[in-house]
Amino acid sequence: MADEPKEPKPPQVPTGEKPASSTPPVSTHPAKPADANAPVAPPKAAAPAAPKPPVVLQTPLDNEIVKRFRAKFGGSLLEATEDRKQAILTVDRARLAEMAMHLRDEEKFDMLADLTAVDWPKREKRFDVVLDLYSFAKNERLRLKVHAADAEEVPSVVSVWPAANWQEREVFDMFGIIFSGHPDLKRILLPDEWQGYPLRKDYDILQQDTAWVRENLGIESGQ
Amino acid sequence: MKAGSEAILTVKGTTLSIGTTNDHKTLLGADELVINMGPQHPSTHGVLRVKLKLDGERVIGSECVIGYLHRGVEKIAENRTYQQFAPYVDRMDYVAAVSSGLGYCEAVEKLLVAEAPPRARVIRTILTELQRIASHLLWLGTHALDIGALTPLFYCFREREEILKIFEKYCGARLTTHAFRIGGLQYEAYDTLEKDVERFCKDFESRIAEYEALLTQNRIWIGRTKGVGILTAADAIAFGVTGPVLRASGVKWDIRKAAPYAAYDQYKFEIPVGTTGDTYDRYLVRMEEMRQSRLICLQAIENIPSGPIMAKVGKVLKPPPGEVYHAIEAPKGEIGYYIVSDGTVMPYRVHIRPPSFINLQAFDRMVRGHLVADVVAIIGTIDIVLGEVDR
């Protein structure tokens, strides 16, 4: 079982450019259906043997966007990486709103597709706030990340992308991260009076606000 | 919940957080009124509660109250293995479970740097397109019912039934199908799958014409939908709206074309777009989408490649550490999965970007200035499923 993760790595080459490279194999397969199991296996085994056995999934990123970004914000760009061919910029929390404006207006990332957070309790700054941007003009995605410690505020991007409104409320609801400048930061999925933030790692899956459950549902436990 | 204990009718003084319009002068100088719609209301399609601020019969502000169906899906994901979590995503958008399942499976495959074999990808495409038709049919039937046209519901459910029968034959389930597995498919296509799909597609062409005959030129339908709930392209993009709602506003964007997944790069189809972004346009866009899905199905059954249906991903999935965001075009819009792996058998974090949740944000923008009766039409036209909004 130890080598399980390595198994799927080989076909990394085809996944890179799905539309371009996946078409030919599909059309060739029906041509020789007799031993359909055979043709699929060899390319998989052959592909990884030559280039690099330990496939590196995370690589540093240095494209035009990053260059322009670095020229404008300098040291506030903490890290630019690529994970499985997806661009990730880790930036300074304090200048997030300013950077968001830059990315929307200069780089044409006009849609905020997704905004969420990840909790890493062992880290000094435990939260990652993650924004997934999309540009209609370039058909490109970009992930923006900021680190925040408990009780540290993250600048809201609602004024840049109104789509952030409910998503920031959800992150506040689930992680307790405060977004400064949000027009109406309150819980969205959980009841307003709920205590605790369920998606933090130290919140057990069976944990609940028993006082709230007792008072509002009239039962001892919601389990 | 707290909601139930609140007064149903509240005179001025109740605060509405979205766009408080205290300076608003009512038409007749009367007080503004805040009324509560839902969560138990037949036309809110589930447990959606809307606070409406009214000037007489006209809506001047609104606020959606959601979360009644929150089950903590993302928390559950952190406590299940990758495969164990797969059936849970079917319970979000339970009228388009196949699409949610496809998004999740492909996201994990991306995380594993694996890819489903060609045969699996084509079968996935067929089932997902059938699901899109089924989801749009359910939308059409209930949307028309909300507005007062009773007949289309029966017609739509007749055809939807045929699709659900195909799902049932394929995997044994009709709604929460769990049709796909990470790495491909568990079940081979049953013997008559192509025939069944072909027969459905053949019949379906004339069936769409039947729905259109009932509605498209119907004066009452036009009166209730044209010019109602207009969403401009700029607003739609700003609110992150995706799917048919975005396309009806004139933005020609579909993930099946922008970043093809499954086997969509092999098929020819058009992306229908609207012009004004009103409820009528959204109706036309979805009708045309059903036709295009039908065409995709017909092309796909022509040539299903032979070969394995499952990639070699192993029984215990331990994706290498890292993260991935993968989005597909679900019937309601972009469904995205952001998955973080720490190298163990359980995902460190799964975040789901549900199209219904994001699209519902634009509701307030669409509803302002309209009559209370139009609220029902606008809720219907966004096409939300509360299981997905609340997760």
Mean pLDDT of successive 10-residue stretches along chain A, which has 223 residues: 42 40 41 42 44 68 84 84 88 89 89 92 91 92 91 91 92 92 90 90 86 83 66
Residues in chain B: 391
Question: B7 to chain A, minimum CA–CA distance in Å?
Answer: 16
Distance CA A191, CA A204 (A): 18
Q: How many CA atoms lie within 13 A of B331 on its CB side?
A: 33
Sequence-separated (6 or more) residues with CB below 8 Å from residue B239 = A162, A163, B358, B359, B361, B362, B365
Q: Which residues pair with B51 in a beta bridge?
A: B36, B63
Residue B256's nearest CA partner among B150, B373, B102 is: B102
Whether the bond into A33 is cis, omega within 30 of 0: no
Q: Does A166 touch chain B (CB under 8 A)?
A: yes
Q: Which two tokens stand for residue B160?
A: 């939807």
pLDDT at A39: 43
**Beta-carbon neighbour count of residue A26 at 10 Å?**
19
User: CB neighbours of B304 closer than 8 A, spacing ≥ 6?
Assistant: B119, B122, B123, B126, B189, B194
Q: Name the token pair of B315.
A: 């029984």
Distances (CA, A) of B80 to A201, B76, B110: 14, 7, 19
- Does residue B121 belong to the interface with chain A, where contact is any CB pair within 8 Å? yes
Interface test with B, best of A15, A26, A203 (most B CBs within 10 A): A26
Beta carbons within 8 Å of B187's beta carbon, 6+ residues apart: B170, B171, B179, B309
Phi, psi of B339 (to 5 degrees): -120, 130
| A29 interface with B at CB cutoff 8 Å | yes
Taking residue A23's Cβ as centre, other Cβ atoms within 10 Å add up to 15
The C-alpha atoms of residue A12 and residue A47 are separated, in whole angstroms, by: 9
Q: Does B113 touch chain A (CB under 8 A)?
A: yes
CA distance A103 to A126: 25
CB contact under 8 A, B1 and A216: yes
CA atoms lying within 13 Å on the CB side of residue B117: 27
Could you give the maximum distance between any two Cα atoms of chain A, in Å? Answer: 67
Contacts of B338 in chain A (CB under 8 A): 114, 116, 130, 132
Contact list in A for residue B253 (CB cut-off 8 A) is: 136
Four-CA torsion B128, B313, B115, B289, nearest 10 degrees: 10
Residues of A in contact with B2 (CB under 8 A): 191-193, 216
Q: Token match 């060609």: residue?
A: B118
Which residues are within 8 A (CB) of B257 and not within 5 positions of it... i.e. 6 or more apart?
A: B264, B271
Query: B110 and A84 in contact by Cβ < 8 A?
Result: yes
Q: CA angle at residue A112 from B260 to B324, to 5 degrees?
A: 50
- The dihedral built from the CA positions of residue B80, B81, B82 and B84, taken in this order, carries a sign that is negative
Decide if B75 and A118 are in contact by the 8 Å CB cutoff: no
Does residue A104 contact residue A138 with C-beta atoms inside 8 Å? Answer: no
Min Cα separation B211/chain A (Å): 33
Residues 252-281 of B with CB under 8 A from A: 253, 258-261, 263, 265-266
Nearest chain A alpha carbon to B240: A163
Of B69, B25, B27, B22, the closest CA to residue B45 belongs to: B69
Would you state the torsion angle of the CA atoms of residues B342, B346, B349, B351, taken in this order, to the nearest 10 degrees? 140
Chain B 324-383, residues with CB within 8 Å of chain A CB atoms: 324-325, 327, 334, 336, 338, 340, 343, 348-349, 351, 353, 357-358, 361
**A207 has a chain B CB within 8 A of its CB:** no
pLDDT of amino acid B26: 63
State the Cα–Cα distance between residues B266 and B118, nearest whole angstrom.
11
**pLDDT value of position B358:** 93
Q: Chain A: nearest CA to B179, how far in angstroms?
A: 21
| Closest CA of chain A from B291, distance in Å | 24
A96 contacts chain B (CB < 8 A):
no
Under-50 pLDDT residues of chain B: 1-22
DSSP A222: -
CB contact under 8 A, A114 and B118: no
CA distance B174 to B97: 9
Q: Count of CB atoms within 10 A of residue B164's CB?
A: 18
Q: A179 — contact with chain B (CB < 8 Å)?
A: no
The pairing of strands A86-91 and B33-37 is unpaired
Q: Could you tell me the strand order of the sheet in which B333-341 lies?
A: B322-330, B333-341, B349-353
